[in-house]
């Protein structure tokens, strides 16, 4: 109820009681105003009923939810099932337009606001996690593999003569298939064994760059999060090669936002003037939401715009809404508490694993 309605309510309920309700409402409004104004995560989590009410209010800003409105155009956000409508909080327009996934929808001011604000909150979360030099973040409504394909196609458009991708081998299908789906040819750089680890063969990367014309190389893909005994790729040295030979660099950081070590490696690579174009990570693996979304990070506004323009047509708002709700439910404190909890649990697990290895004549690979 607005202030006028509350004044009329004072005729039915004592004013002192209405004033208490008015104060509670203003407190919630102040929280929301600050988030929109500063485009930052709240320090403390928002209560779920506040988040739900806010989303419902934004949904009412979309034309398909205007009272008495009957849409007859192409994009009216019609929903047959009331269950589906409730499941999606009446947000049926999606995000973006045919030429840009971040474009404002004329008939969907609420959905557009939610999309823009979520990307800003994600960027603030990324900064809080340690990637402080990142300047742009966007939630893409596709999982990591397909989003990497989108990045590769963006590079391909900028480098039409290119046909190869130099790829530090990882035995996981998504990354490999993302290259093939983009109709590019992977040049697989095998790892080298060092102290029982498989590590990045930086020398072989440079040999392959000399073997092929750098203009024929679409990009180099490095991987930060992987399974033992493969170690984190040497992101810093690869980024230096990319800078030296003017080759785009795509980082497969699927799980990496939850690891302070990986974040440090990426941050150091950028601070040492290495080249990093796009960093791709999963929403579900890093932020505890359902599968279906990813986050692309970049340091360059032109690269950000190029990726946004590369996405064909409109897109689902569901992964964005999931991230919006989750980030507000966590708040900055909740997010950082999860990172600290992960560290504590790792130390506990490591101590117990050491004891197990002693009892069973095994040893742990530890960098």
pLDDT, tens digit (0-9, with 9 covering 90-100), for 172-222:
889 899 999 999 999 999 999 888 889 999 999 999 999 998 999 999 999
Strand blocks (E) in the chain = 136-140, 164-168, 185-189, 192-194, 197-199, 217-223, 249-252, 278-282, 294-298
Quote the pLDDT of residue 74. Answer: 60
Nearest residue to 231 via CA among 207, 268, 259, 209? 259
Residue 80 within any structural domain of the chain: no
Residue 339 within any structural domain of the chain: no
The reply to whether 288 and 188 lie within a common domain is: yes
CA distances for 305 relative to 154, 179, 301, 315, angstroms: 10, 22, 6, 16
Question: How many separate domains does the chain show?
Answer: 2
Residue 21 within any structural domain of the chain: yes
Residue 278 within any structural domain of the chain: yes
Q: Which residues of the chain have pLDDT under 50?
A: none
The reply to whether 31 and 146 lie within a common domain is: no
The two beta strands, 249-252 and 217-223, are parallel
Range of the domain at 221: 120-321
Cβ neighbors of 268 (< 8 A, separation 6 or more) are 236
The CA distance from 230 to 221, in Å, is: 15
Q: Is 7 annotated as a binding residue?
A: no
Q: Is 271 annotated as a binding residue?
A: yes
Q: Is 87 annotated as a binding residue?
A: no
The reply to whether 136 and 27 lie within a common domain is: no
Residue 285 within any structural domain of the chain: yes
Quote the pLDDT of residue 230. Answer: 87
Kindly provide the b/e burial profile for residues 15-46, where b requires at least 16 CB atoms within 10 angstroms of the residue's own CB: eeebeeebeeeeeeeebbeebeeeebbbeebb
The reply to whether 160 and 14 lie within a common domain is: no
Residue 190 within any structural domain of the chain: yes
The reply to whether 156 and 287 lie within a common domain is: yes
Residue 364 within any structural domain of the chain: no
Q: Is 11 annotated as a binding residue?
A: no
Instruction: Note if the bond before 197 is cis, omega within 30 degrees.
Output: no
- CA dihedral 95→98→104→108, nearest 10 degrees, is -60
Quote the pLDDT of residue 365. Answer: 76
Q: Is 275 annotated as a binding residue?
A: no
Nearest residue to 329 via CA among 126, 54, 27? 54
pLDDT, tens digit (0-9, with 9 covering 90-100), for 129-143:
999 999 999 999 999
CA distances for 197 relative to 37, 158, 359, angstroms: 48, 36, 23
The reply to whether 26 and 126 lie within a common domain is: no
Q: Is 98 annotated as a binding residue?
A: yes
Residue 147 tokens, joined? 């989003």
Quote the pLDDT of residue 72. Answer: 66
Domain of 177, CATH number, reads 3.40.640.10
One DSSP character per residue, 136-180 reads EEEEESS-HHHHHHHHHHHHHHH-TT--EEEEE--S-HHHHHHHH
**In this structure, are residues 110 and 91 in contact, taking their beta carbons and an 8 Å threshold?**
yes
The reply to whether 28 and 125 lie within a common domain is: no
CA angle 30, 34, 38 (to 5 degrees): 175
**In this structure, are residues 333 and 44 in contact, taking their beta carbons and an 8 Å threshold?**
yes
Quote the pLDDT of residue 367. Answer: 58
Quote the pLDDT of residue 70. Answer: 67
One DSSP character per residue, 11-62 reads TTS-HHHHHHHHHHHHHHHHHHHHHHHH----SSPPPHHHHHHHHHHHHTTB
């Amino acid at each position: 109820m607005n202030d006028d309605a509350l004044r009329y309510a004072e005729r039915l309920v004592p004013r002192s009681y209405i004033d208490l309700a008015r104060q509670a409402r203003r407190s919630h409004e102040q929280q929301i105003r600050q988030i929109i104004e500063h485009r930052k995560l709240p320090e403390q989590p928002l209560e779920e009923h506040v988040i739900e009410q806010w989303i419902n209010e934004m949904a009412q800003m979309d034309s398909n939810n205007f009272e008495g409105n009957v849409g007859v155009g192409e994009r009216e956000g019609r929903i047959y099932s009331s269950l589906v409508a409730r499941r999606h909080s009446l947000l049926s327009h999606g995000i973006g337009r045919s030429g840009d996934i971040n474009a404002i929808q004329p008939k969907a001011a609420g959905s557009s606001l939610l999309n823009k604000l979520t990307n800003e909150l994600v960027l603030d979360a990324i900064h809080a996690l340690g990637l402080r030099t990142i300047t742009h973040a966007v939630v893409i409504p596709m999982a990591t593999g397909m989003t990497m394909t989108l990045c590769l196609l963006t590079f391909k458009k900028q480098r039409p003569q290119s046909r190869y991708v130099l790829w530090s081998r990882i035995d996981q299908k998504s990354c490999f298939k993302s290259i093939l789906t983009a109709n590019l040819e992977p040049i697989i750089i095998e790892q080298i064994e060092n102290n029982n680890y498989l590590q990045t063969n930086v020398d072989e990367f440079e040999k392959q760059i000399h073997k092929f014309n750098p203009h024929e190389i679409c990009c180099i893909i490095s991987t930060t999060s992987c399974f033992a005994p493969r170690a984190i790729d040497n992101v810093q040295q690869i980024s230096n090669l990319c800078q030296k030979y003017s080759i785009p660099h795509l980082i497969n950081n699927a799980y990496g936002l939850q690891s302070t070590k990986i974040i440090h490696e990426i941050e150091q690579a950028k601070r040492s003037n290495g080249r990093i174009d796009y960093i791709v990570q999963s929403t579900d693996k890093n932020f505890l939401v359902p599968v279906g979304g990813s986050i692309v990070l970049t340091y360059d506004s032109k690269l950000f715009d190029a990726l946004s323009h590369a996405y064909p047509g409109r897109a689902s708002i569901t992964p964005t809404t999931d991230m919006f709700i989750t980030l507000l439910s966590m708040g900055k404190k909740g997010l950082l508490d999860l990172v600290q909890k992960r560290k504590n649990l790792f130390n506990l697990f490591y101590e117990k694993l050491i004891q197990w290895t002693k009892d069973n004549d095994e040893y742990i690979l530890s960098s």
